[in-house]
Structure 1
Amino acid sequence: MEDTAAPQPSDTNDPDGNEPPATGAEEHTGGRSISTYARPALIAGVVIAVICAGLLIVIFALDSFNAAAYSVTGKSVNDATDEARDIRDLYSGVRAGGITGLVISGVVAVAAAVVLYLNRGSAAGRTGDDGEDYDLDDLRGE
C-alpha cells in the first residue's frame, strides 16, 4: 500500500477546508438514548434471573428436605399445628422475593432485548468509524 500526496476525494469536496455538515446521528450525540442502556440492562436482567432461578431451586430443595425430615416422625407438614405451619412458612419470604426478582428481571431483559432488536440497524452510524482501514503493512511501518 503506497501513500501519496495526491488529494483524496474527501479533501476536494470543500476547498475552503470547512467541516462537512453534521448528519442526524452526529447531532443527537449530546444526549444518551435508551438503546445505550439496553445492552447492560439485558445482561443484568439475565444474570439476576439466573440467580433468582437458582435461589428458588435451593429453596425448593430445602423445603422438601424439611418436609421429609418432619414426616419421619409420622407427622405431616399439611397438619394444622403451629409447628407444621412454621415449617411451611419458613422460606415464604425468600420464595416471594425470588419470584418477584425473577419476574422483574425477566421483564427488564425482554424489554432490553426488544429495544436492541428494534435499533439493530441504527448502531452502525454511531460507532465513530471514519472508514480508514489499517493493514499489517501500516502497523509494521512499511
Structure 2
Amino acid sequence: MEDNATPQPSESNNSNGNDPDPVRAAERGSRRSPVAYARPALIAGAAIAVVCIALLIIIFALDSFNAAAYSVTGKSVNDATDEARDIRELYTGARIGGIIALVVSGVVAIAAAVVLYLKRGTAPVDEDDDGEDYDLDDLTGR
C-alpha cells in the first residue's frame, strides 16, 4: 500500500463507523471562498458605478438644457411658480436613484477589492499545471 496523507476508506474519522451527517457534508462541500464571489462583485460594482456616473452626467445635461430653454423666455427656474417647480423637480427621482445606486455599487466594489487584496496569493495550486506555457502552434497542432 502506498504511504500518503489521505485517509483510506477504512480509516474513518468516526469512532462508531457511521456515515457522517449528510447535511453537514453538503454544507462543507457547497461552501465557496469569498474570493469566488468577490471577483464578480468587483466587476459588477464597477460596471454599475460607471453606468450610474454616465446617467448622472446625462441628467445634469438635460436639467441644464431645460433650465436654459425655460430662461429664454425671460423666466427663471428659481421662480415660485408651479411650472418652474416642475422643471426643477423633473429629474429628482432619477437623480436620487442614480446616486443611491452609485453609492451601493461603489461600496460593493470597494468591499470586493478589499477581499481580493487580503486574499491575494492564496489561490490553490493547480495540480495539472506543470509550469509549461502553450502558444498558438501547440494548441492548433502545427
The TM-score range, normalised by the shorter chain, is 0.7 to 0.9
Secondary structure of the corresponding residue to residue 105 of structure 1: helix
Q: Are the structure 2 counterparts of residues 135 and 120 from structure 1 closer, same or farther at C-alpha, using a change threshold of 3 Å?
A: closer
Q: Are the structure 2 counterparts of residues 84 and 121 from structure 1 closer, same or farther at C-alpha, using a change threshold of 3 Å?
A: same
Match of 2:81, as an amino acid?
Answer: T
Match of 1:128, as an amino acid?
Answer: D
Q: Does 2:127 correspond to 1:129? A: yes
Runs of 4+ aligned structure 1 residues displaced above 6 Å come to: none
Q: Are the structure 2 counterparts of residues 135 and 42 from structure 1 closer, same or farther at C-alpha, using a change threshold of 3 Å?
A: closer
**Structure 2 length as normaliser, TM-score?**
0.73
> How far does the alpha carbon of each residue in 1:57-100 deviate from its partner, in whole angstroms, 9 at most, with x for none?
00000000000000000000001100000000000000000000
Number of the residue aligned with 2:12 = none
1:132: how far off? Answer: 3.0
Aligned pairs for 1:1-142 (under 5 A) are: 16-17=1-2, 19-21=4-6, 30=29, 31-123=31-123, 126-134=124-132
Task: Answer 1 or 2: which has greater helix percent.
Answer: 1
Listed as ranges, the gaps of 5+ residues in structure 2 are 8-27
**Structure 1 length as normaliser, TM-score?**
0.73
Secondary structure of the corresponding residue to residue 122 of structure 1: coil
Determine what percentage of the aligned residue pairs are the same residue.
Answer: 66
How far, CA to CA, are the matches of 1:107 and 1:62 in structure 2? 28
Question: What root-mean-square deviation, in Å, do the aligned CA atoms of Structure 1 and Structure 2 show?
Answer: 2.4
1:19: how far off? Answer: 4.9
Aligned residues: 116
How far, CA to CA, are the matches of 2:58 and 2:44 in structure 1? 21
